[in-house]
């Protein structure tokens, strides 16, 4: 489990000359992120601040990246996640692997009281910036989800990184960047599922590729063409 001290997981934000750290990102300063005018690292992704705000840059020359606004909850995909979670006004949901926040915001748009958690510092920073502009009422916590699951949410929503599949087409750029950042070291999904089922008030929902193996034995599923939602009742 990652360390409890946020400063141990924080990151520097490389500020371009003449740029001022905006007030909307004061949350990052409180979490131990430090603006600096030093030279960026020689490799990998890093946080930078330019005239347009917070951005992810890559020392290997890849194009800069900002996650775009999450889509409004319309269409079959958002309907499926809403059905899987039993979305309704006031339902408390822990989006335990928030990433760029797309699914959590879809549930918030459906009326749920969503809390997001993200343990990777660069992903967390970009998510904070996105939410400040898009949905400031949705809280995001900078810590391992296993620390929050016992707090008692109606629904624990799990969206682990999909396992790579042998196919020609690559996933969209947001998912490519997320995989670059987070890596291929998947969390122990069985452990997280057991913990989530022990503490969820209503259900646990896990998003999976349509053809991926199930983790444990779901009580029911909401199928889709490319993804499905496996739903688990709380354990006794």
The string of pLDDT tens digits covering residues 163-176 is: 655 554 556 888 88
Kindly state the DSSP code that residue 89 receives in the 8-state scheme: T
Q: What is the pTM of this model?
A: 0.88
Q: Which domain covers residue 50, as residue numbers?
A: 6-58
Residue 51 sits in the same domain as residue 93: no
Within a domain: residue 63?
Answer: no
Task: Show which of 14, 32, 58 is a domain's final residue.
Answer: 58
Within a domain: residue 68?
Answer: no
pLDDT band at 225 (very low <50, low <70, confident <90, very high): confident
Within a domain: residue 64?
Answer: no
Within a domain: residue 71?
Answer: no
Residue 142 sits in the same domain as residue 25: no
Residue 33 sits in the same domain as residue 87: no
Residue 87 sits in the same domain as residue 13: no
User: Between these two residues, 107 and 136, which has the higher pLDDT value?
Assistant: 107
pLDDT band at 79 (very low <50, low <70, confident <90, very high): confident
Helix (H, G, I), strand (E, B) or coil at 103: helix
The maximal CA–CA distance of the chain, rounded, in angstroms, is: 58
- Cα(67)–Cα(54) distance, integer angstroms: 10
pLDDT band at 35 (very low <50, low <70, confident <90, very high): very high
Residue 157 sits in the same domain as residue 93: yes
pLDDT digits (tens, 9 = 90+) for 184-209: 656 788 999 999 999 999 999 999 98
Q: Which residues contact 75 (CB under 8 A, 6 or more apart)?
A: none
| pLDDT (0 to 100) of residue 9 | 54
Residue 128 sits in the same domain as residue 220: yes
Residue 80 sits in the same domain as residue 37: no
| Percent of the residues in the chain that have a pLDDT greater than 90, as a whole number | 57
pLDDT exceeds cutoff 70 at 72: no
Mean pLDDT of the chain: 86
Write out the DSSP string of 166-195: S-SSPPPHHHHHHHHHH-S----HHHHHHH
| Percent of the residues in the chain that have a pLDDT greater than 70, as a whole number | 86
Kindly state the DSSP code that residue 67 receives in the 8-state scheme: P
Least confident of 3-7, 51-55, 100-104: 3-7
| pLDDT (0 to 100) of residue 82 | 94
Residue 54 sits in the same domain as residue 117: no
Q: Which residues contact 138 (CB under 8 A, 6 or more apart)?
A: 101, 104, 105, 108, 114, 115, 116, 131
Residue 43 sits in the same domain as residue 157: no
Residue 135 sits in the same domain as residue 200: yes
Residue showing tokens 């020359």: 61
Number of domains in the chain: 2
């Amino acid at each position: 489990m990652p360390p409890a001290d946020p400063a141990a997981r924080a990151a520097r934000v490389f500020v371009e000359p003449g740029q001022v750290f905006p007030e909307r990102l004061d949350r990052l300063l409180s979490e131990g992120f430090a603006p600096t005018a030093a030279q960026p690292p020689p490799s990998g992704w890093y946080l930078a601040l330019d005239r347009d705000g917070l951005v992810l840059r890559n020392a290997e020359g890849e194009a800069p990246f900002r996650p775009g606004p999450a889509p409004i909850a319309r269409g079959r995909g958002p309907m499926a996640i809403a059905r899987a979670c039993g979305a309704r006004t006031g339902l408390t949901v822990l989006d335990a692997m928030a990433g760029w926040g797309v699914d959590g915001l879809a549930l918030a748009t459906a009326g749920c009281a969503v809390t997001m958690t993200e343990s990777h510092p660069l992903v967390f920073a970009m998510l904070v910036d996105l939410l400040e502009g898009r949905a400031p009422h949705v809280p995001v916590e900078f810590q391992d989800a296993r620390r929050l699951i016992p707090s008692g949410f109606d629904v624990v929503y799990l969206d682990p990184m999909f396992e790579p599949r042998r196919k020609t087409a690559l996933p969209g750029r947001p998912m490519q960047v997320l995989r670059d950042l987070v890596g291929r070291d998947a969390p122990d999904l069985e452990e997280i599922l057991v913990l989530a089922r022990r503490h969820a008030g209503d259900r646990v929902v896990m998003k999976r590729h349509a053809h991926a193996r199930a983790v444990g034995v779901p009580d029911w599923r909401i199928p889709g063409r490319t993804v499905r939602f496996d739903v688990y009742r709380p354990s006794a």
